[in-house]
A = this chain, B = another copy of it.
Amino acid sequence: MNIHRYAENPLITPADVVPHRADFEVIGAFNAGVTTYKDEVLMLLRVAERPISLDPNIVKAPVYNPDTNELELLEFRKNDDRYDFSDPRVIRNKYKSGTFEYLTSLSYIRIARSTDGHQFTVDELPFIYPSNIQEVFGIEDPRVTQIGDTYYIYYSVVSPVGIGESMVSTTDFITLKPHGMIFGPDNKDVLIFPELINGKYYALHRPTMKSIGEPNIWIAESDNLLYWGNHKHLLGLREGMWDSGRIGGGAVPFKTEKGWLELYHGATLDHRYCMGAVLLDLHDPTKVLARSNKPVMEPEADYEKNGFFGDVVFSCGAIVDGDIIKMYYGVADTSMACAELSLQEILDSLDYL
């Protein structure tokens, strides 16, 4: 696979983002949804900010309070036996199930703009910020699907009652229309197809199961983008392969002559995140036609291997221009990068079922 990583990579790092509060530091500007609007490429960055702690024995957890519309900062002493602080991203309660009880950073969405797709300027203010009870721990990993003149922006919302996927829409990237939680918990990595297929909208989603089942990709249908049903299991894990631990949708699926191409992420059980591709039937995207036996892209560059959470390439959006796929991707849960790949080369690399 010929991969042309941009010379400017990483395109945006935390240092390029001014924190939205003086007592916070930006630790991530990554996993951006990507689209074009007027003559610009927009990256909808997931910005993660952490409250600055002057005492190394104290870990702070930012929590949005929907009643006061203020952020509250909870403080935990690192020697508090009830909690596990070993993963710097989360605070885990040892006596409760679940993978975390609090997050140590707050994520929200901020726009970075570019006229050439290489040089980006980050907006001064947040674009989408927690605003309700479903978002008290933040909003993460946005994707953007353009249908006509409307841009549908959807992202994981995180709160004590669960992680689901909520949506807003906009026609100008200024005014937002809220559509609520379109996929209930435990769910993330939603990707809405950009057009009706046989009279229906489709979306990929990635439920996380407790009772039985693995973190796999599912597909659902809709007639209005707001309400979803006819859920079907689409794509599973593959033991011993690059996508053996977990998978989830990545970029918004796009149409090719051979079918809908979805660039998805897969991770091994030791959390090495790669990007691969799956080809879905043009007229029935619940049918899998082909899939990458080897990843399309693996973490190799220094900025992909090292960071807040290393060995991660994680795309939430790509721009397709003829045979060139400009895949924007988060690196190491820290920064944004871009690489160009050949559509034909990806299609040729797939293993057809």
Report A181-240 residues with CB < 8 Å from chain B CB. 181-187, 205, 207-214, 216, 218, 220-224, 226-233, 236
Check B231–A229 contact: CB distance below 8 A: no
Check B233–A134 contact: CB distance below 8 A: yes
Q: Which residue of B lies closest to A222 (CB)?
A: B227
Q: Tell whether A340 is near chain B: CB-to-CB under 8 Å.
A: no
| Contact A186-B184, Cβ < 8 Å, known A163-B211, A211-B162, A228-B229 | no
Give complex CA distance A158, B212 in Å: 9
Question: Smallest CB–CB gap between A149 and chain B, Å?
Answer: 22
Give complex CA distance A211, B246 in Å: 14
Q: Tell whether A66 is near chain B: CB-to-CB under 8 Å.
A: no
Question: Which of A97-105, A117-125, A274-282, A318-326 makes up part of the contact surface?
Answer: A97-105
Check B213–A181 contact: CB distance below 8 A: no
Q: Tell whether A88 is near chain B: CB-to-CB under 8 Å.
A: no
Check A211–B211 contact: CB distance below 8 A: no
Residues of chain B within 8 A (CB-CB) of A213 are: 98, 160-163, 185-186
Which of B101, B134, B185, B207 sits near A162, CB closer than 8 Å? B207
Give complex CA distance A216, B134 in Å: 14
| Contact A230-B187, Cβ < 8 Å, known A209-B98, A212-B158 | no
Which of B100, B183, B227 sits near A211, CB closer than 8 Å? B100
Give complex CA distance A98, B208 in Å: 11
Check A216–B164 contact: CB distance below 8 A: no
Q: Which residue of B lies closest to A182 (CB)?
A: B229
Which of B133, B134, B160, B226 sits near A212, CB closer than 8 Å? B160
| Contact A163-B229, Cβ < 8 Å, known A184-B218, A186-B186 | no
Give complex CA distance A188, B239 in Å: 29
Give complex CA distance A208, B223 in Å: 26
Q: Tell whether A180 is near chain B: CB-to-CB under 8 Å.
A: yes
Residues of chain B within 8 A (CB-CB) of A229 are: 179-182, 226-228
Q: Which residue of B lies closest to A186 (CB)?
A: B209
Check A210–B208 contact: CB distance below 8 A: yes
Give complex CA distance A180, B98 in Å: 29
Give complex CA distance A185, B224 in Å: 21
Question: Taking each of A100, A212, A230, which has the highest tally of chain B beta carbons within 10 Å of its own beta carbon?
Answer: A212
* Residues of chain A having any CB pair with chain B under 8 Å: 98-101, 133-134, 158-164, 179-187, 205, 207-214, 216, 218, 220-224, 226-233, 236
21 A-B residue contacts at CB 8 Å? A98-B209, A98-B213, A99-B210, A99-B212, A159-B212, A161-B212, A161-B213, A161-B214, A161-B236, A162-B212, A163-B211, A179-B229, A180-B232, A185-B231, A186-B209, A186-B211, A209-B210, A223-B227, A227-B228, A227-B230, A228-B229
Given contacts A162-B213, A184-B231, 7 further A-B contacts (CB under 8 A): A158-B212, A161-B216, A181-B231, A182-B229, A185-B209, A185-B231, A208-B211
